């Protein structure tokens, strides 16, 4: 699709965003015409809708965009963040759909891709009112209904929304993870091998490892520790992903095996919650979560503030400045959000394991946190040197 090319708009139908508490917002259809159910959440990102929609962490969530116009840059073949470029959002709620696509990389419009992948959307909604409602009352079960589906009675629509499974207690990582291991080769010389657990991994994460000379073996969620030994990993990584971390007992046990084996560990987002649980912390469901690319986070170890990309509705319980004991050594909360003091990172004080709640792969988002990949590589280097010294001493 060339700059400023306009695709022919499909026919519009009445549509409704229905919340489980009875609030209904009317608009018009775009994308697939029909019904979709999920948890209504909002993202404060002003750009990067393609990366958001293909992020597996948004599985079973209806995303309300706070940016007033969506679709300007169309859809390209480079910026998808899921394996296979699958759209994972359950639905999309926007104020205004751009009728003109203007980006040199665009191959088609946003709506073209939504129709191709069967994603239901609603436009013409007062998204400011929706976001205010979600901020006041919290993320909530919702549905988008368009065409004939939207003509049913309010009572019927609300009842269908209420009947869907809750996000709290949902074990979703296995639904988005790869079913078979695959390898992302390093760029240039191979330095290390990292096993990455796919809880909903974004494609830019192995790309960041590859640029640092790391071969990434991506394995399905909950793969047993005994099985990953065959790859002789220099480090283990646990990715972002959807669902309630309180259900992830299998993955917590795997991470505890990794810590027991003294293998360098790095986790992000869901991986942060998994490490926290492995160290003995609890998790909870947030009122409306953090979703956007402008969230300020304080590193309590360095005093540095990073502006970060985030997407999570659950968090760890903890407090910075209070070290706590674990079977693997002393641990601490290393990062907190400056907006609400939410825990944003944990680590073992010996440096062998660390994690953050945000997204250093920066797709989309600021690059402030990208050096965390370098921190992981440095940890692997130090650990490898330490093991070599021990072997020589023996």
Positive/negative CA dihedral, 288, 291, 296, 297: positive
3-state secondary structure of 173: helix
3-state secondary structure of 29: strand
How many other C-beta atoms lie within 10 A of the C-beta of residue 310?
26
Separation between Cα atoms, residue 55 and residue 62, nearest integer Å: 13
- Residue found under tokens 């945000």: 358
359 is catalytic: yes
The active-site residue out of 111, 113, 160, 269 is 269
Residue 311's nearest CA partner among 41, 9, 94, 84 is 41
Q: Provide the token pair at 114.
A: 């939504």
Per the CB < 8 A criterion, the answer to whether 239 and 202 are in contact is yes
Q: What are phi and psi of 362, to 5 degrees?
A: 55, 55
Separation between Cα atoms, residue 81 and residue 306, nearest integer Å: 22
| H or E, element range at 353 | strand 353-356
Annotated binding site for L-glutamine: which residue ranges?
57, 241, 243, 270, 273, 311, 313-314
3-state secondary structure of 210: helix
Q: What are phi and psi of 186, to 5 degrees?
A: -75, 155
Annotated binding site: which residue ranges?
57, 241, 243, 270, 273, 311, 313-314
185 is catalytic: no
337 is catalytic: no
Positive/negative CA dihedral, 20, 24, 30, 35: positive
Q: Provide the token pair at 164.
A: 């869907």
Bridge pairing between strands 353-356 and 324-326: unpaired
Separation between Cα atoms, residue 155 and residue 157, nearest integer Å: 6
Q: Indicate which residues carry an active-site annotation.
A: 269, 359, 361
């Amino acid at each position: 699709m060339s700059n400023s090319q306009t695709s022919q708009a499909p026919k519009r139908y009445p549509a409704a965003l229905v919340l489980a508490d009875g609030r209904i917002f009317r608009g018009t259809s775009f994308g697939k015409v029909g019904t979709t159910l999920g948890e209504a959440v909002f993202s404060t990102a002003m750009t990067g809708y393609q990366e958001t929609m293909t992020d597996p962490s948004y599985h079973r969530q209806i995303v309300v965009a706070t940016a007033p116009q969506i679709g300007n840059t169309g859809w390209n073949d480079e910026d998808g963040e899921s394996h296979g470029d699958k759209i994972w959002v359950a639905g999309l709620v926007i104020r205004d759909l751009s009728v003109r696509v203007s980006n040199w990389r665009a191959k088609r419009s946003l709506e073209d891709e939504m129709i191709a992948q069967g994603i239901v959307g609603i436009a013409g909604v007062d998204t400011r009112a929706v976001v205010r409602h979600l901020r006041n009352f919290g993320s909530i079960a919702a549905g988008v209904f368009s065409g004939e589906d939207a003509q049913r009675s309010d009572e019927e629509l609300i009842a269908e929304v209420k009947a869907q499974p809750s996000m709290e207690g949902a074990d979703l990582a296995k639904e988005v993870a790869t079913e078979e291991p695959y390898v992302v080769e390093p760029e240039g010389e191979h330095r290390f091998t990292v096993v990455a657990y796919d809880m909903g991994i974004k494609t830019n994460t192995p790309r960041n490892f590859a640029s640092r000379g790391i071969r990434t073996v991506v394995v399905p969620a909950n793969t047993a520790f005994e099985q990953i030994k065959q790859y002789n990993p220099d480090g283990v990584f646990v990715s972002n992903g959807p669902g309630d971390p309180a259900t992830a007992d299998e993955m917590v046990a795997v991470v505890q095996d990794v810590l027991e084996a003294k293998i360098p560990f790095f986790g992000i987002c869901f991986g942060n919650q998994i490490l926290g649980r492995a160290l003995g912390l609890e998790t909870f469901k947030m009122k409306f979560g953090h979703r956007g690319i402008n969230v300020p986070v304080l590193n309590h170890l360095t005093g540095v503030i990073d502006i970060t990309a985030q997407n999570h509705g659950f968090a760890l319980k903890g407090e910075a400045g209070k070290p706590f004991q674990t079977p693997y050594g002393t641990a601490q909360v290393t990062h907190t959000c400056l907006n609400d003091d939410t825990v944003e990172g944990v680590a073992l004080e010996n440096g062998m394991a660390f994690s953050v709640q945000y997204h250093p792969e920066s797709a989309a988002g600021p690059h402030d946190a990208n050096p965390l990949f370098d921190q992981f590589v440095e940890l692997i280097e130090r650990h490898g040197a330490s093991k070599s010294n021990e072997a020589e001493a023996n």
